[in-house]
Structure 1
Amino acid sequence: MQEDNFNPRQMPIFQKGREIYELTVKIADLIPEEDHRLSGSKAFMLEDAAMLSVKVAGAEGGDLYDIRMECATLIRKAARDLQNHCNTLTMFGFEHIHYLHLIRDALEEYRLLFVEWVKTFDAWNYAVDRWGLFNPPGVQPDDPDPDRGLDGF
């Protein structure tokens, strides 16, 4: 998808992430500031919701497999954390829990887009991940980097 005029904002996964962020803002605005247990979740919810589109843009801009996988990992964590924040609000008596299913449903739609998006990652467009987390199958952290000199470093 790396075309000169390509804009990640046109991607369905990016757009769904923005939708989730906007929805989260509206629901988070219903959290009473004076309820410290609930209001403590508000900033975390907004941060996690923002990550859903920000990291898609980062992955698309980075293009390399290890960068894309790192961004995907952060997206998965943010989505799961956002789901957990919804559970926390329910547990601590948020008055408007009937809206939380909107976030949960949107996250499920996002998850399906995410699964398809990750399938498009080119595992062989990579730099060796010296930490060993995001290398393509069969590539080890100490392997020579294919885009570097003969010594691989």
Structure 2
Amino acid sequence: MAIDPKDPFEEDDDDENREEGFDPEEYFNEMDEEDYKEAEEEVKNERKRLKEMPLYKSAVNIRRLTTSLAETINEEDDTLMMKDQMLLNAYLLGPKLAGAEAADLYTLRMENAVLIKIHARELLTQTSFCKAEKLSKPEYLKLLRDEIENFRILFVEWVKSFDKENDIKDDWGLFYD
């Protein structure tokens, strides 16, 4: 008979399980004002670097184009809520890209890259649906499709830049030979 592992959220006496001399309050409050300023500066620099990336700029363009295009869709004709689905896909590109850039490990970057690809491809498919159902003007859809193609080209180069050697295998079997 298998024994259930201990529930980490189950209440018990933490003092009994704590390493002797370990004080979590002291451990988590070791940062001084200088450490906070340094951390804030790192975050600021990382944000700036991300915003200057051509791929991120393209993701922003896709979001803006999709938002504008979505405003032209008549909600009565949009029985499948395509507008909402398109906005969701467009709005997730930037945060997933930021997540991939923040993660230095190959597997984490690839996981985010796969999600980015899925959202971009879904958005591309949704433009075809909108064209077929005449939910938006073809010229608006073409603008978005062209930007998605630009994004795809930049995306391929970005993924090639990932360092496969910088990783810790995660036992899920993805992205390994």
Which of 67, 71, 77 is matched with 1:25 structurally? 67
Q: Give runs of aligned pairs for residues 1-153 of structure 1, distance below 5 A.
A: 4=42, 5-7=45-47, 8-37=50-79, 40-135=81-176, 137=177
Cα shift readout 1:70-115 (whole Å, capped 9, x = no counterpart): 1110111111100110011112122422210001100111111101
Residue identity matched to 2:67:
V
Contact 1:37 1:92 in 2 (8 A): no
Over aligned residues, Cα RMSD in angstroms?
1.4
Q: How many residues align?
A: 132
* TM-score normalised according to structure 2 size: 0.70
SS of the equivalent of 1:37 reads coil
Contact 2:105 2:166 in 1 (8 A): yes
Match of 1:145 in 2: none
Structure 2, gaps ≥5 residues long: 1-41
Task: Using the TM superposition, give the Cα deviation of residue 37 of structure 1 relative to its aligned residue in structure 2, in angstroms.
Answer: 2.5
Residue identity matched to 2:82:
S
SS of the equivalent of 2:79 reads helix
Cα shift readout 1:39-81 (whole Å, capped 9, x = no counterpart): x101110111112211110001111100100111011111110
119-128 or 4-13: bigger deviation: 4-13
* TM-score normalised according to structure 1 size: 0.81
Residue identity matched to 1:75:
I
Contact 2:78 2:135 in 1 (8 A): no
Contact 1:86 1:100 in 2 (8 A): yes
Contact 1:9 1:57 in 2 (8 A): no
Distance 2:58 2:160 in 1: 18
Residue identity matched to 2:170:
D
SS of the equivalent of 1:101 reads helix
Task: Extract structure 1 runs of 4+ deviating beyond 6 A.
Answer: none
Match of 1:141 in 2: none
